[in-house]
Structure 1
């Protein structure tokens, strides 16, 4: 079984002791991280720079020691195994190809180090090279390749070993936008062909959402949420996840709750805009409390002027072809919406907003956790 399990994994860099008064002040780079990846699954580890995602990957690969916890591939605990004995393929964001060697020799390097015979090497490269679309580059040297071609060679070198686990450490970060899009598609296709359990580390949420079967989101060394792209987008566990996933991200605004007769309303400080509180929140709210309201830009509409709602002035308008992004100032807060209306809106236009209150999310102002109605 080529499953990957991390159980309560910790990583602290003892070399950082000098920066802190005592060991208790030295934070964990990875803090009580647990994760279970199914056989053949494509898992993304997503988070901002410095959150511990690459450190986690390096511990799985054996390039970093574990402070505490266990890592298992199948039923084998690999904490103390040498990297070469873990049967892992690893492709870094830096291509790290050998300049004097041809593409063929770069791909063959690890197999030759394992004393694999040349006939088998030729056969394996003959299978892998067409999959990565580098079969016409085998006699070239790295200096003559584009960034996308180098990364294909880098990945080919990782998977030619037939690893139990393929680790990709921000493999697309050095590429331009168009090439990133092309390679995303190719990596997804490749994963289905080789059926290898794959982990990709990235800070690009679009990359993680498009490639991964499930995504683990990290912040400050801790796992924030682990689920499918749809689960994370539709039901973020906390304010950080809500604001990190989505392009543009979810609107997160501080609002008050006010009672008007038998109904509750969200009120925006400094504005007369109010929207109804969905009935599912009634057992959890009371008059006068404040919460963080989450609204996806796609869940705001522009209604005709005769509909109920509030008139609001557009502060910024961005035209992106078929999609338009409109920005509004609502009292002390700002809102962004996405529309595909054929009407061309410009800054200064006054429109009537309809915020789909049933699609809203609530977060606790102190903890940042989602306020749930299903408990």
Structure 2
């Protein structure tokens, strides 16, 4: 049974699945590159292609030509040299350019090396559990996978992408699968700060222009690290993070069937912010308004004090000095000193609006109205 005879079974003091598995498998030496494949936090499809590449079993064009399945052996990426695994990884100018950009993103300044040397370098420098080692293993697996995918697209689907587009895609996917420790000096710390900042809501207490400038600076920092968000996504985040007092504006601009550019959206927001501030200032001005509707001059005269009647001989008009200047000969309402005191105290102007059947008169200033006048018009100089 599985390489065991009766004597071996009788001599066993204990049985374990591990011993049985080792007997079935046989004794085999451990490969050096097991750390960069088995301890890789990348996607399973990345690790599978990396395992096939390290085992040198990728079905390249040269390998298929040896089997008589294909005649054209030129590399579909550079179209200059015959394709084999060493050329594809990373002697090809296309794959070398892409891999060097990924290395520079990780802070590693060196040229791309042939595949066997790259594997040896990864075994020596990326076998630990640090954040840098984990990022390098994922970046290597993702790069090999996307180079192989790009090669297949060009062969079977006649589709192609540039090295810059592939580099950006690799960096984005690696970032989504890995959160680096705060002690790590790679760009993920700055990118994480960006994603934390877009989660907060903009405040009314801070100038809108300053907040927009901060948001644009974060986008520029990502672009410098070769991470470019879609323009519509970035604009949508900016609109969505406006304060709650902007809800009407957000709903209006979301459902407009106009494709605004980023510059137009920023300009639109700044104009709206200015209009909101002006409306708040207008609400702060206090104007006292007296409204008299449907009243004629004669009706106003009837509303005078019932105690005063010129034809009443029993009515006695009081005589005495003015309460303001203590001089006789005029009433308090006619005192010049009272008028000057009102101006010095800065009383807000009063607006008197009279609305009748045939005429509407509005006085937007302080006005002294003399009684017993049938008709009057006041020109305040306004259009």
TM over 0.5: no
Higher RCO (Cα < 8 Å, 6 or more apart): 1
TM-score by length of 2: 0.23
Choose between structure 1 and 2: higher helix proportion.
Answer: 2
TM-score by length of 1: 0.24
Please tell me whether Structure 1 or Structure 2 has the larger radius of gyration of its CA atoms. Answer: 2
Choose between structure 1 and 2: higher strand proportion.
Answer: 1
